[in-house]
């Protein structure tokens, strides 16, 4: 059992709209290596874990990823809140806006909606842990590349 505190794990306070940035960050919400996939991956893999301590650890990590999902959702929402029609059209956010307006929807930056195919759970401890490491490494590498290549957008 866990207790949900009705506050973000880390406060998000964005005051400037930036739909271009939201289109990138949305992948961390519902993309293949995003927080939704990570949480479901860990929470699914825990059942096949033969060691109770590690089963508990996977449960803890999975719920932690849900907290990250909540923060990413808040970031995307705040980046797109109160957009004008001109901002929507100029930023290319119109394709997303047509289907979801400014609602936060699990989708990759490419526009592909979240799919359960992003979640790997093979029932083999070594395979599952390698999958987790690979997904986390991919996310870290993407974040590092993006940070070096761009000036701050917020």
Q: Count the domains in the chain.
A: 1
- Domain membership flag for residue 46: yes
Region of residue 13 (phi > 0: left; psi between -120 and 50: alpha; otherwise: beta)? beta
Q: Is residue 76 part of a domain?
A: yes
Closest CA to 13 of 74, 66, 69, 81: 74
Contact 135, 41 (CB under 8 A): yes
Which two structure tokens, joined as six digits, stand for 42? Answer: 């860990």
Q: Is the model's pLDDT at 120 over the cut of 90?
A: no
Domain residues for the domain of 139 are 19-149
Residue range 47-76: mean pLDDT, rounded: 94
pLDDT at 127: 87
Q: How far is CA 127 from CA 3, 8, 54, 109, 141, in A?
A: 30, 32, 15, 27, 21
Residue 136 belongs to a domain: yes
- Rounded to two decimals, the pTM is 0.83
CATH number (domain holding residue 114): 1.20.1260.10
Which residue has better confidence, 151 or 24?
24
Measured CA to CA, the distance from residue 106 to residue 117 in angstroms comes to: 14
Per mean pLDDT, which range of 28-32, 84-88, 138-142 is the poorest?
Answer: 138-142
Asked if the structure places residue 38 within a domain, the reply is yes
Determine phi and psi for 61, rounding to 5 degrees. Answer: -65, -45
Judged by DSSP in three states, 14 sits in coil
pLDDT(86) > 90: yes
Asked, for residue 66, whether it belongs to a domain, the answer is: yes
DSSP-assigned letters across all residues of 47-66: GG-SSHHHHHHHHHHHHHHH
Is residue 58 a part of any domain in this protein? yes
| Average pLDDT estimate for 54-72 | 94
Tell me what pLDDT residue 31 has. Answer: 94
The share of the chain scoring above pLDDT 70, in percent, equals 88
Distance of CA 100 to the CA centre of its chain: 17
Q: Which residues pair with 107 in a beta bridge?
A: 113
Choice among 2-11, 37-46, 64-73, 144-153 with the minimum mean pLDDT: 144-153
Position 141 scores a pLDDT of 62
**pLDDT band, residue 128 (cuts 50/70/90):** confident
121, pLDDT greater than 90: no
Rounded to whole angstroms, the Cα distance separating 25 from 107 reads: 10
């Amino acid at each position: 059992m866990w207790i949900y505190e009705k506050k973000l794990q880390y406060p998000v306070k964005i005051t400037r709209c930036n739909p271009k940035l939201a289109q990138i960050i949305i992948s961390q919400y519902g993309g293949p290596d995003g927080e939704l996939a990570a949480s479901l991956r860990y929470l699914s893999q825990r059942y096949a874990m033969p060691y109770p301590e590690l089963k508990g650890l996977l449960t803890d990590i999975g719920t932690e990823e849900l907290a990250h999902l909540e923060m990413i959702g808040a970031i995307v929402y705040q980046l797109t809140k109160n957009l004008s029609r001109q901002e929507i059209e100029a930023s290319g956010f119109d394709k997303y806006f047509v289907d979801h307006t400014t609602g936060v929807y699990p989708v990759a930056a490419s526009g592909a909606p979240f799919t359960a195919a992003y979640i790997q759970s093979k029932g083999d401890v070594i395979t599952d842990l390698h999958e987790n490491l690979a997904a986390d490494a991919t996310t870290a590498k993407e974040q590092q590349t993006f940070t070096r290549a761009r000036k701050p957008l917020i």
